[in-house]
Every structure is written in C-alpha cells, then in structure tokens.
C-alpha cells in the first residue's frame, strides 16, 4: 500500500509541475499563432477621416 501512495504522489507531482504548465504554454502559443494569422493590421486613417477622442473614426 505504501508503494501505491508513493506512486500516486509522484504522478500527482509530475502532473502539476510539468504536464499542466507545458500544456498551458503550448495552448497559449498555438492561440497566439492563430490570432496573429487572423489579425491583419488596419490601414492608417486618411486625412479626410476625422478621429474622435477615442482615436476611431466611428461615432460612439
């Protein structure tokens, strides 16, 4: 029974200290990559388009 407890503690430690952070980092990197591809830089506003206080050309 002591072996089962020791093995359980070892597996739980590996999961919490290694597997979970690695999966979080991988998911975050993949999300950033997908959003970067999806997001395109907007063209700068023209001189004819007045900007509001928020910096956009659309009314609030």
> How confident is the model at residue 20, as a pLDDT?
93
Selection from 38, 39, 57 nearest residue 48 by Cα: 57
- Tell me the residue range of the domain where 25 lies: 1-39
User: In this structure, is residue 53 part of a structural domain?
Assistant: no
Contact 57, 45 (CB under 8 A): yes
Domain annotation covers residue 44: no
Domain count across the chain: 1
Q: How far apart are CA 6 and CA 48, in angstroms?
A: 71
Residue 11 lies in a domain: yes
Has residue 52 been placed in a domain? no
Residue 48 lies in a domain: no
Could you report the per-residue pLDDT of 25-52, keeping only the tens digit for each?
999 999 998 888 777 666 676 666 666 6
Q: Is the distance from CB of 18 to CB of 12 less than 8 angstroms?
A: no
CB 48 within 8 A of CB 42: no
Question: Does this model's pTM top 0.85?
Answer: no
């Amino acid at each position: 029974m002591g072996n089962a407890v020791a093995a359980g503690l070892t597996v739980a430690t590996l999961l919490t200290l290694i597997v979970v952070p690695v999966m979080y980092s991988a998911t975050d990197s993949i999300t950033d990559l997908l959003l970067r591809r999806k997001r395109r830089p907007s063209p700068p506003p023209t001189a004819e388009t007045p900007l509001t206080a928020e910096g956009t050309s659309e009314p609030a």
